[in-house]
Structure 1
């Protein structure tokens, strides 16, 4: 696997300055074109691997970098917690069903709609 050349984007005015392996810095207005611009410039400069793309890193300064990292980690943690909670909700709905509760009673106990109970119990059967 080829290691992609690196582009470091730093905010400058109302755009971004791209610092690249083997190429002079370049200015772009928005980040959505940064990788392609950097790749083209590096490829023209003969930077190995540029024909395969480039790895973009965005530097917003220490404080904002920490905030971005913390917020993206919080989002990942929330997703993981949601997946765990959904699995537990399925198991609990199944246990209540096995104890003879009706779908409507399960809905009241769990605080969800009867339709959601149906989905939870169907998911259990589909998953085996």
Structure 2
């Protein structure tokens, strides 16, 4: 392996089994854990003992819940990410709108009334807008 070569950490695949999880790793026999919070550490220790290449860089846990649940998890986490992006965009638009209203001569209290926020929030929005340029 070249000194500058990037080595990806090995993967641990966790699948539900009974009351726990079976961990599948290349070069190591499957192992059972009760909860996922110890899966990476268990897998890493087993792979170190099995001299699996790249484990010194850590390990990546992939959870397989089956097609239906995997898709539901993917959909819900994407919806959460999308909601966060929308919230960030809405906050930026609120700052720009507060600044525009202010430039048109509205008072902080009037801006608060128009936007449906508190006067203190208007002050924050205007200060944030000035700080961001």
Q: TM-score range by the shorter chain?
A: over 0.9
Unaligned runs of 5+ in 1: none
Distance 1:124 1:66 in 2: 39
Q: 1:62 Cα deviation (Å)?
A: 0.6
In angstroms, what is the RMSD of aligned CA positions?
0.6
User: Who is 1:123 aligned against?
Assistant: 128
> Stretches of 4+ moved more than 6 A in 1?
none
TM-score norm. by structure 2 comes to 0.94
Q: 1:78 Cα deviation (Å)?
A: 0.4
Q: 1:76 Cα deviation (Å)?
A: 0.4
Q: Where do residues 34-113 of structure 1 align in structure 2 (5 Å cutoff)?
A: 34-113=39-118
Choose from 4, 12, 33 the match for 2:9: 4
Q: Are 2:8 and 2:57, in contact at CA under 8 Å, matched by a contact in 1? A: no
Q: 1:50 Cα deviation (Å)?
A: 1.0
- Paired residue secondary structure (1:47): coil
Distance 1:5 1:124 in 2: 45
Distance 2:71 2:96 in 1: 37
- Paired residue secondary structure (1:95): helix
- Paired residue secondary structure (2:52): coil
TM-score norm. by structure 1 comes to 0.98
- Paired residue secondary structure (2:106): coil
Distance 1:53 1:125 in 2: 43
Q: 1:125 Cα deviation (Å)?
A: 1.2
Q: 1:69 Cα deviation (Å)?
A: 0.2
Distance 1:50 1:92 in 2: 51
Unaligned runs of 5+ in 2: 1-5
